[in-house]
Structure 1
Amino acid sequence: MHSVLPFFLAMIAAIVFLQMLANKLKVAYPILLVIAGLAVSFIPGLPHLQVDPDLIFFIFLPPLLFEASWSISFKEMKKWWRIITSFAFLVVFFTALSVAVVTNHIIPGFTIALGFLLGGIVSPPDAVSTGAITKFVKISKSTSAILEGESLLNDASSLIIFRFALVAVGTGQFIWQEAATSFLWMVIGGAGIGLLLGWIFVQAHKRLPTDAPSDIALTIIEPYFMYWAAEQLHSSGVLAVVSGGLFMSTRRLLFLNSSSRIKGYSVWESFVFILNGIVFLIIGLELPEIVEGLRSKGIALNTAIGYGILVTGILILARIISSYIAMLATLIFRPSVAPRASSGKVRMLMPLLLGWTGMRGVVSLAAALAIPVTLDNGTEFPQRNLILFITFVVILLTLLVQGLTLPYFIKRSKLFDVITEGQDPEHIAQQKLRQGLREHTYQFLKSKTESELHGHVVVQKLLQQWEEKSKDTDDWMNKKTIMLLFEMLESQRQYCVTLNKDPKFDEEIIRQQLYLLDLEEERLRMKLK
């Protein structure tokens, strides 16, 4: 333990420094982490890092999915649900099928079941990689919503394929009727369990005398419990975490106070950053062992690399084809929500870039490492090392090739510089929000003066302050005034929540304003101490 602990501490320090370097170089930090892990793996004398396959999903996936479900705009998900669900389920299945058919014909000894297993592993694009790469370029809100929504759901669909393929490989048979029933239970049961537990957790936060530390501690435990409960009932733990996380996210103002929201944001940001960093380092660190496994089976390294390049090409091609199909379907069935473009040529090129966003990462690695070493009968799992190596090549190529070229293509083409129909530009939306808040606050204080606090000197001063936006000192602050300001801030929150129902307003702008209101409430609470 004492020999491994410094290695883990060094890993976390390396993650932090590499993220700083990535920001300076304006490249996605997962790219540098994978390269660093690969370089470190060749240093002699380092302890062997191995994660139990039975725990790989449970350790990393629940908190990563839970945090993503809190970050995404649920309003945008509802708007683009057709494209999101098609990418998350139909496209994943089409990609897995394409990989299964091609590998079955090309790779000796690769059955259709093994092909679907590999397809389920490498089919889901990684949201962390895409988000880190697009951080340095501007993309449209519609594209961002589609990518984020897809990343939440495609993990579930790909892991369902992965689970069924594992059964088929182990038993040598696949019964469609049982598979269909199991699939429905995994989807419906997983979502239902997540919603039920999400409601229970919301009630617990509301009714228990929690504070910020206890609220944050509970939110860290909750995704693990959702995932575990759903898996115990043989449904989808991923869908349980996603549905429960989305349910709780839309009600965060009801059961978390301003202190819990502010501090929780910082804690979760750091927690998820470290988890992602460890996973991407593991990708690089695992390569020498995988290569050694290939050599022990007599598989030439050049041949395995060729298979990895082939599968990567299939993934990219399948996603580009699916992007064009999704765009055509949107233009036919929902032309009102289709992104605007300067010309027909630009519109036809947009799916090409959307298809180029399919970098692989955390989920693919977790699934590959979760393949058991032996089958239930004790025999060695067929082609395990080759599947692991192909997965590594896919992750590495998509991160390096697509990850390094995507920002350049976006900047040069300007294809994503479009505005969703009916939505105001960001600076106009912010201006409208600020103006609306000023008018709403003034009317709120005016109504309080007329109904409850007629002639109150402090309220008159507040009215003058908000009407003229002039600076004032805090010497007039007292407990009664601060309680009035708390009530005013809550009124402003309700105004923002109501305004969020307007499709012209981007939910991210609303959330930024709500965060500022939380900060203002915390500032006032300090005056009560």
Structure 2
Amino acid sequence: MHTILPFLLAMIAAIVLLNMWAVKLKIAYPILLVVGGLMISLIPGLPVVKIDPDLIFFIFLPPLLFAAAWSISFKEMKKWWRIIGSFAFLVVFFTALSVALFTSYLIPGFTIALGFLLGGIVSPPDAVSTGAIMNFVKIPKSTSAILEGESLLNDASSLIIFRFALVAVGTGQFIWQQAAVSFLWMVLGGAGIGLALAWIFVQAHKRLPTDPPSDIALTLIEPYVMYWVAEQVHSSGVMAVVCGGLYMSARRLIFLNSASRIRGFSVWESFVFILNGVVFFIIGLELPEIVDGLRSKGIPLTTAIGYGVMVTVILVVARIISSYTAMVATLIFRPSVAPRAATNKRRWMMPLMLGWTGMRGVVSLAAALAIPVTLENGADFPYRNLILFITFIVILLTLIVQGLTLPYLIKRMHFFDELFNDEDEELTRQKMKRGLKQHVYEVLKSKYENELQGHAGIEKILKQWEERAKAADDSGMNEKTKVVFVQLLESQREYLAELNKDVSISEEIIRQQLYQIDLEEERLKII
């Protein structure tokens, strides 16, 4: 313990430093993390860090999926549910099938079940990697929501494939009828369990006398409870966390107060950042052992690297084919929602760019590490080290090659400039603020003008409320005025919640304004 603890602390410090370096270089931090994990594995004398494969999913996936569900725009997901659903389920299955067919044919001794296992591991693009890379390019919010929604839901579909393939490898058989029933139970049962538990958690937050520390502590354990309960009844823990997280995210204004939302945002941001970094470093630390395992099985390192490159090419080609198929299907069946572009050439190049966005990351790593070391009969799990090594190569190549070139290509070729007809952000923000000012004025005039006419604090709110955060004199803010002020802030939240139903307004802008209102309420408490 005295050896591991300083090493873990040094690992977290290295993650922070690499993130700082990534900001300075203006590249996505997952790229440096995966390279850093590779470099650190070359340092001699490092302690061996091992995690039970059965605990990999349970430790890392629930909070990462829960955080992703809270950050995504559910309104945008509903708007683009067709393309998100097709990429999250159909494209994942097509990708896994492509990997299974090619690897079972090209890798000696590699069965179709092992191919599906590998395909389930490497098929889902990573939400964290995609989001980090998209920070360096300007794309429509709806495009970002499509990519994030796909990355959120395809984790569930790919891990279901992974689970079925794992059973097939262990038992040597696969019964389609049983698999179909199990698939429905995993999806529907997982979603139902997640929603039911999320409702219970929302009621607990509302009815119990919680404070910000206890609210945050509860949100940290809730995704683990959702995942664990769903897995105990053999449904999908991933679906439970995703659906439960989306339900709670849509109701955050109901069961969390302003202090819990503000502090929880910072806690979760740091927690998820550390989890992502630790996963990348763990695979880096295990890389020498994986390479030794390959050599013990008589697989040359160059051959394994070649397999990794081959699988990466299959993934990219399968995603590009799927993107063009989706484009053709949209033009045939739903031409009104087809992406618009300045020229036909640019329109037909858009699927190519969408196909280039499939960076792999933490979920693939966690799935690969979760492969058991031995089968139930005690025999070594076949090709485990090769699957781990191929997964690492896929992540490394997609992050470095696609991750570094994607921002340049988008800026250079202007592919996404006309993809969606989003309202200009600044214009939307100004329109929203004007609406808020008018709303506050009408509330004050209708509810408080007669009761508190001539009161210095109310007049100040009425005339200069938008400048209140900068006001130097708060002497007029007595307890009665504070009550009015809090009610006005709550009224603004209700106004923004209603405004968010407008599909033309970005939910991110709404959330930014809600965060400002939370900050204002917290400022009011210390006056």
Question: Is TM (by shorter chain) over 0.5?
Answer: yes
Amino acid at match of 1:465: Q
Distance 2:459 2:11 in 1: 58
The alignment status of 1:246 with 2:246, answered yes or no, reads yes
Contact 1:449 1:455 in 2 (8 A): no
Distance 2:397 2:106 in 1: 20
Distance 1:403 1:472 in 2: 47
Contact 1:117 1:165 in 2 (8 A): yes
Contact 2:143 2:420 in 1 (8 A): no
Amino acid at match of 1:406: L
Show the counterpart of 2:270: 270
Distance 2:327 2:135 in 1: 24
Using a 3 Å threshold, how does the CA distance of structure 1 residues 146 and 129 change in structure 2: closer, same or farther? Answer: same
Contact 2:198 2:248 in 1 (8 A): yes
Q: Which is worse superposed, 282-291 or 92-101?
A: 282-291
Distance 2:17 2:462 in 1: 49
Equivalences for 1:188-203 in 2 at 5 Å? 188-203=188-203
Contact 2:456 2:476 in 1 (8 A): no
Show the counterpart of 2:21: 21
Shift of 1:191: 0.3
Amino acid at match of 2:32: L
Q: Which is worse superposed, 404-413 or 16-25?
A: 404-413
Show the counterpart of 2:489: 489
Unaligned 5+ segments in structure 2 are: none
Shift of 1:489: 0.4
Shift of 1:426: 0.6
Show the counterpart of 1:447: 446
Contact 1:320 1:352 in 2 (8 A): yes
Equivalences for 1:124-163 in 2 at 5 Å? 124-163=124-163
Show the counterpart of 2:355: 355
Distance 2:114 2:486 in 1: 60
Deviations 1:390-440 (A, max 9, x none): 11111111111111111111111111223623x311111011011111111
Contact 2:140 2:419 in 1 (8 A): yes
Shift of 1:136: 1.2
**Aligned length, in residue pairs:** 526
Show the counterpart of 2:424: 425
Tell me, what secondary structure is at the counterpart of 2:408?
helix
Using a 3 Å threshold, how does the CA distance of structure 1 residues 461 and 398 change in structure 2: closer, same or farther? Answer: closer
Show the counterpart of 2:302: 302
Distance 1:207 1:195 in 2: 18
Amino acid at match of 1:25: L
Ranges of 4+ aligned residues in structure 1 off by more than 4 Å: 454-457, 466-472
Q: Which is worse superposed, 214-223 or 434-443?
A: 434-443
Using a 3 Å threshold, how does the CA distance of structure 1 residues 471 and 28 change in structure 2: closer, same or farther? Answer: closer
Distance 1:444 1:338 in 2: 42
Q: Which is worse superposed, 132-141 or 52-61?
A: 132-141
Amino acid at match of 1:337: V
Distance 2:432 2:332 in 1: 34
Using a 3 Å threshold, how does the CA distance of structure 1 residues 159 and 435 change in structure 2: closer, same or farther? Answer: same
Q: Which is worse superposed, 355-364 or 279-288?
A: 279-288
Shift of 1:455: 5.3
Unaligned 5+ segments in structure 1 are: none
**RMSD (CA atoms):** 1.5
Equivalences for 1:313-332 in 2 at 5 Å? 313-332=313-332
Show the counterpart of 2:49: 49
Using a 3 Å threshold, how does the CA distance of structure 1 residues 476 and 274 change in structure 2: closer, same or farther? Answer: same
Show the counterpart of 1:62: 62
TM-score (norm 2): 0.97
Contact 1:283 1:365 in 2 (8 A): yes
Using a 3 Å threshold, how does the CA distance of structure 1 residues 135 and 457 change in structure 2: closer, same or farther? Answer: closer
Contact 1:337 1:420 in 2 (8 A): no
Contact 1:76 1:145 in 2 (8 A): yes
Shift of 1:140: 1.6
Distance 1:439 1:329 in 2: 45
Distance 1:304 1:61 in 2: 27
Shift of 1:471: 5.5
Amino acid at match of 2:165: A
Shift of 1:251: 0.3
Equivalences for 1:280-299 in 2 at 5 Å? 280-299=280-299
Contact 1:442 1:466 in 2 (8 A): no
Show the counterpart of 1:106: 106
TM-score (norm 1): 0.97
Shift of 1:335: 3.4
Shift of 1:260: 0.2
Shift of 1:327: 2.3
Show the counterpart of 1:464: 463
